[in-house]
């Protein structure tokens, strides 16, 4: 059988291509990011709750929660624009190579 080495099982039952040091470093980065994000969110919530007068506390919490919605819209917009731009650049590059007769993409 012709399978990729990372997905192939050895006859003794061992998996080929386990987790290396690079993958473990990524896990540490995600854990650190999650902890720092939790502290940032709690600090931001406390800021909006404490700095707003007593009668407008619900408005402060609403502003705090709206930050996440606006951030999601901006993130989606950026991902969409970059994706479309990269697809356009790849298609333009392939078209240019085909017009020159190189045949390589």
| Domain definitions of the chain by residue range | 20-53, 56-104
| Phi, then psi, of 9 in degrees rounded to 5 | -100, 135
* pLDDT(95) > 60: yes
Q: Which residue has the higher pLDDT, 24 or 104?
A: 24
Tell me 20's DSSP state: -
For the chain, percent of residues with pLDDT exceeding 70 = 70
Report d(CA 89, CA 82) in Å as an integer: 10
Please state the rounded mean pLDDT for residues 60-87.
90
Please state the rounded mean pLDDT for residues 56-73.
88
The whole-angstrom distance between residue 71's C-alpha and the CA centroid of its chain comes to 13
Give the confidence band of 87 by pLDDT, cuts at 50, 70, 90. Answer: confident
pLDDT tens digits, one per residue of 30-55: 899 999 999 998 988 888 788 888 88
């Amino acid at each position: 059988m012709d399978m990729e080495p990372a997905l192939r099982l050895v006859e003794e039952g061992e998996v080929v291509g386990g987790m290396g040091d690079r993958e473990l470093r990524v896990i540490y980065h995600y854990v650190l990011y999650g902890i720092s994000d939790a502290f940032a969110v709690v600090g931001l919530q406390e800021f909006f709750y404490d700095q707003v007068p007593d009668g407008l506390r619900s408005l402060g919490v609403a502003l705090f929660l709206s930050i996440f919605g606006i951030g999601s819209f901006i993130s989606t917009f950026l991902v969409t624009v970059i994706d479309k731009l990269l697809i356009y650049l790849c298609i333009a590059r392939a078209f240019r190579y085909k017009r020159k007769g190189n045949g390589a993409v």
